[in-house]
Structure 1
């Protein structure tokens, strides 16, 4: 399956290609055969793919490859676990998990969003097509729980940033600011019935949605400039302003 920004039609000139390889847990594909197939096409023969599970439980393997000068990421997905996650998310249940490469955390509902937005390249048995039917319309129960979980956390992250600011702890302030913005993006994506696949670029994208916060993109840029300049008070003021706008939007 083609995933990521290429599948969603939001890719830029520097965007890579994300290709999901879905498999049934009782019939996984042959990793060695995949490696053999990759060798003739990659720019660097040393580039290869992992065994299952090498990248953790939520991105359970794949490869970072370059083909014809273009970055191509292969990602493994266990269809049994994906089905379970979709069934849970339809009931408004999801989990946030530690995963390398996702500083906000890996929300289990990402797997549902990947299925919803991907473009099947080879799906002869219609497995992904069947699952796609379970992802639309966007589940109201999932929307409600995402808003509840992350809406509350925006202010909590800001409060932690304020405590760190008293001691001038720039790293912690920046981390809390990132957390607040990521949670805010989760809420705006849910309000608009959009699946948040990756926190990279999420705030900028959320700023373009019909239901959003006026001046969000500009506020994000100003916030990071304030933090870079050591203007913690200014950064926190921007965060509190965004939080207030979010509460008004929800109200």
Structure 2
């Protein structure tokens, strides 16, 4: 627990200024997560050390290429993604150490991280949104931990995550919702106004979406029989262990923002 707390404090001290400043430091942070998170996710394959050396760099470049096209040449995006799918499905023909299962794992990484980056453009459209999502996500994590520890009685899904309880989930949703509303309202005193529909739906849905993200990534780890995605963050595991809920929430917010703006 002590190691976990120290790591969390160090992360806050490093990441808070980057997120607050934005710009190129934030873009480099995105690139770091894409690379390290990609290595962690593709390493789920027990054969990844035998893959041709170009596979991981090619997968990472596919994410970056798709994102850049979505920003600068969106008319080419579908053609590029179609080509990526064809290439990765074809690769097992040329290597006995890279199977069709590995192809689908790499494609899952490409699509997951591309849509996360794409959704981040919606998040970054207003400085309030990223703070709302962060507070809702990690406020929920904290509330769920303490709620489950002191009140937890009924297990949610022991097959996926043996320690999570319904009581903890409810406490997490309440804490995430309340904290995001309070801090969001305070920030609106110094930030431009936002669409109230997006504000309230973000505060309401992010604590729920984040918990489902945590369970989804836990199911992924259970499937591959590992405890953590990596060991980069002492007490927390890997990048994906720390960002699983946030990845889900970024994509959920992207859906939410696009739907609300279309209405």
TM-score (norm. length: structure 1)? 0.29
TM-score (norm. length: structure 2)? 0.28
**Which is bigger in relative contact order (C-alpha 8 A, separation at least 6)?**
2
Question: Which has the larger helix fraction?
Answer: 2
